[in-house]
Structure 1
Amino acid sequence: MSISLYDAFVPSCQQILGGLNGLIDKGEAHVKEHGLEDAELIEAKLAEDMWTLPWHVRACWMHSAYTFGQMKGGEFTPDFTDVPNSWGSMRAMTGDALSTLDALTPGEVEALADKTIGFVLGGKRLMEFTGQNFLLSFNQPNFYFHATTFYDILRMKGVTLSKRDFLGTPRVLTA
């Protein structure tokens, strides 16, 4: 059985974005339960030269939903604007990503598989990919990195989480 590009990318992003929503909820609940300021978690980083929680949500949005609009034009330029600044705005961004992915059809994704996609940063075209390689070797690893880092920051700050919280709802067989 072969797997489509859509099946290799979109459902897994949807699953992890669902988990990310749960992580956002648990982070907010932790702050309230422990009488902390939101900034205690929202501004946390794993290392000084890394991003804070909201940036990781933005990156998950960028490497999932935003990607498809960019790919249609043949170039991907990261969007570092509109970084969420609250639990609610982080949830809104993951909600937007989920809505965008929900609206994609397998045919739309498959149509991008062989398209040449240029990665543009600072006005310079730094790399070129096929659409398939762009999704699977650039966006997917970046998406998972940022989702994992969000989880790791919460764990580092004492939020009680398990691997299941990260995974969201797996696509299991139903009777």
Structure 2
Amino acid sequence: MSSPYNSYAITSVKKALNALKTILEKAEAHAKEKSIALDDLFNARLYEDMRPLSFQIWAATSNAEKVVFRPRHLEPPAREQTDQTFEDLYKRIDVSLGEIANVDVADIVANEDKPFKAPLGPKEIEFKPVGYAVEFALPNVFFHVVTAYNILRKEGVPLGKMDYLKNFLELY
């Protein structure tokens, strides 16, 4: 069964969440080595009017789950943003990876041509599964993962481009 979901969307969100886990682990190790309070990183922002690191993890995982739920005409489980620790952030990522791993791609393929509506701010927009993944959900996942990366770089965590990209490549 060949589907963009099988080869691209689901694989991409898994890799993006694993990249997020990688950069969080490196940030935690750096904080311990440099005696930086993890709360400082947890609540760090790129700019005062932007959301903190903890929100970026919540948004990345929420959007990743939507990639596999909405095309099946289901809403993902509501997960409140209640994280308080790095351990909570890892657990959130693992829960999302588990939800994604449990999806039968055939259920998505069966709905490939069936539009669904998804909220976008105060509006509802009609999407087909591939359009939703490529035009909305995946860009959102990547945005929040990269924003988390950028927050941690701003805080002095020695991250490099490959800390993000290596999770997407089969070379490592």
Paired residues in the alignment total 171
Q: Give the alignment of 1:151-162 within 5 angstroms.
A: 151-162=149-160
- Tell me the secondary structure at the aligned position of residue 126 of structure 1: strand
Greater Cα offset, 153-162 or 82-91: 82-91
Residues 9-158 of structure 1: matches in 2 within 5 Å?
9-73=9-73, 81-120=80-119, 124-158=122-156
Please report how far the alpha carbon of residue 126 of structure 1 lies from its aligned counterpart in structure 2 after TM superposition.
2.7
Partner amino acid for 1:133?
G
Residue 134 of structure 1, CA deviation: 1.1
Deviation at 1:33, TM superposition (A): 1.3
Residues 27-60 of structure 1: CA deviation (Å, up to 9, x unaligned): 1112211112212111111122211111111111
Would the aligned equivalents of 2:66 and 2:137 in 1 still touch at CA under 8 Å?
Answer: no
Counterpart residue identity of residue 157, structure 1 = E
Normalising by structure 2, we get a TM-score of: 0.86
Say whether the 8 Å CA contact 1:66–1:97 is kept in structure 2: no
Q: Secondary structure at the match of 2:127?
A: strand
Query: How far apart, in 2, do the equivalents of 1:152 and 1:10 lie?
Result: 24
Letter in 2 for 1:151: Y
- In the TM superposition, what is the alpha-carbon distance from 1:172 to its structure 2 partner? 2.8
Taking the aligned partners of 2:91 and 2:47, their CA distance within structure 1 comes to 26
CA 1:95–1:78 in structure 2 vs 1: closer, same or farther (change >3 Å)?
A: closer
How much has 1:9 moved relative to structure 2? Answer: 0.5
* Whole-angstrom distance in 1 between the partners of 2:14 and 2:94: 10
Please report the TM-score for the alignment, with normalisation by the length of structure 1. 0.84
Change (3 A) 1:173 1:80: closer
Of 161-170 and 132-141, more deviation after overlay is shown by 161-170
Query: Identity of counterpart residues, as a percentage?
Result: 26
- CA–CA separation in structure 1 for the residues paired with 2:16 and 2:70: 21
Distance 1:126 1:25, change over 3 A: same
Give 2:36's aligned amino acid. L
Compute the displacement of 1:79 (Å). Answer: 5.2
**C-alpha distance 125-73 of structure 1, shift in aligned 2 (>3 A):** farther
Deviation (angstroms), 1:156: 0.7
**Structure 2: gaps (5+ residues):** none
RMSD: 2.6
Q: Which runs of 5+ in 1 are unaligned?
A: none
